[in-house]
């Protein structure tokens, strides 16, 4: 009977240890998610401000990527359309 009690105490100890470690990990994970969300919403807010500034000043705003080539042709096409015609 005493061996069984020792085993149960050991199991409870390991379960408690796992719960504490999971709690620390979960707290870290939630903080990381919270930080990521703050950065994400700051980027969205920044993008809206830049778009508004471009609109107010008659500028072209188009997100591009040199790495993937996304919207690169489109931005140069828009710039070419805005250039004054010289004859």
pLDDT level of residue 86 (50, 70, 90 thresholds): low
Torsion sign (Cα): 27, 28, 31, 32 = negative
pLDDT level of residue 69 (50, 70, 90 thresholds): very high
pLDDT level of residue 14 (50, 70, 90 thresholds): confident
pLDDT level of residue 87 (50, 70, 90 thresholds): low
Looking at residue 3, what is its pLDDT? 64
Residue 55 and residue 42: Cα distance in Å, rounded? 20
Between the two ends of the chain, the Cα-to-Cα distance in Å is: 103
Residue extents of the structural domains in the chain: 1-40
pLDDT in tens, 23-63: 777 777 778 878 888 888 888 888 889 999 998 998 888 88
- Structure pTM? 0.50
């Amino acid at each position: 009977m005493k061996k069984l009690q020792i085993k149960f105490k050991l199991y409870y100890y390991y379960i408690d240890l796992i719960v504490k470690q999971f709690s620390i990990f979960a707290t870290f994970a939630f903080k990381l998610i919270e930080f990521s969300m703050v950065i994400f919403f700051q980027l969205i807010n920044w993008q809206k401000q830049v778009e508004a500034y471009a609109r107010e000043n008659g500028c072209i705003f188009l997100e591009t990527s040199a790495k993937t080539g996304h919207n690169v042709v489109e931005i140069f096409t828009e710039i070419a359309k805005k250039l004054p015609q010289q004859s």
